[in-house]
Amino acid sequence: MRMLARTFGITALLLAPALSAMAQEPSPAPAATEPPPAPAAVAPMAAAPPASTGAFGSLGQFVLSVDLPFMNEAPQFAIYHESVSMGGTSSTVVAIQPSLDYFVMPNLSVGGAIGVVHGDGVAGVSDASGTGILVEARVGYNVPLNDAFSLWPHLGIGYEHLSVDVSGGSASGYKIPLILTVPVLWHPADHFFVGLGPTLTTELAYSMSFMGQSMDQGKTTDVGLTAVLGGYFGI
């Protein structure tokens, strides 16, 4: 009996640390009976409205316009007759020079103009007539200001062939003008605009040939205002 009690006592001493550790371990958490709620679905963001493609300056637009310079030159579309009293000479001038531009990318345009000016009784000589044929290449950039106005400056370079016929001879020549125009456009309706702005025209070259001899002429520079009238299509 004493040996059995001693054996139990030794066994109890040996098992005491393990029993104490078991007593300190937390009881396992009960098994979940329901799955956790799924996270709320995030509402997709609304797509941004597409940019307007019908406004002036959109890619792919064609612009047909005509300028009306307020200076001492024939406007780009005119038919007028002038007579002088007391036996003076009379003259008739017909001029047309439309412009066509194309927006190769938003607000960036390339284009040009072609025109003809013909006059009879020019330079105060009754039997004199003159003709000018002009071609111009230009580039422009449209700057929208608001829904109704925009700024459309364009810079161009041209070539003008001149011919003059008078009794007893004829002359021919050419001009190379550099043209800068900065009109402010008003868009009162879709696909239509009118504008007004400053313009600068300076001649880089001017030469006339008479009886086989070429002579350089004095180059002029004009500063004035230009009115523009036009429309656009393609979008």
Consecutive 10-residue runs of the chain (235 residues): their mean pLDDT? 43 45 50 56 44 78 85 54 62 82 97 88 68 94 96 96 83 94 95 94 93 88 91 86
- Residue among 50, 88, 69, 105 nearest 179 (CA): 69
Give the pLDDT confidence score for residue 8 in this predicted structure: 42
Domains of the chain: 62-233 (2.40.160.20)
* Collapsed DSSP state (helix, strand, coil) of residue 152: coil
How far is it, in rounded angstroms, from Cα 197 to Cα 224? 8
This model's pTM is above 0.75: no
How far is it, in rounded angstroms, from Cα 140 to Cα 2? 117
Name the token pair of 97. 């020079």
Give the pLDDT confidence score for residue 173 in this predicted structure: 94
Q: Judge whether 180 and 153 are in contact, CB under 8 Å.
A: yes
For 19, which DSSP code? H
How far is it, in rounded angstroms, from Cα 229 to Cα 76? 11
How far is it, in rounded angstroms, from Cα 136 to Cα 68? 16
How far is it, in rounded angstroms, from Cα 85 to Cα 88? 5
Give the pLDDT confidence score for residue 176 in this predicted structure: 96
Residue with tokens 């008003």: 186
Give the pLDDT confidence score for residue 125 in this predicted structure: 61
- Residue among 120, 119, 142 nearest 55 (CA): 142
CA distances from 176 to 63, 70, 221 (A): 24, 20, 12
Give the pLDDT confidence score for residue 12 in this predicted structure: 43
Give the pLDDT confidence score for residue 38 in this predicted structure: 56
Give the pLDDT confidence score for residue 14 in this predicted structure: 42
Pairing of strands 149-151, 184-189: antiparallel
How far is it, in rounded angstroms, from Cα 192 to Cα 186? 9
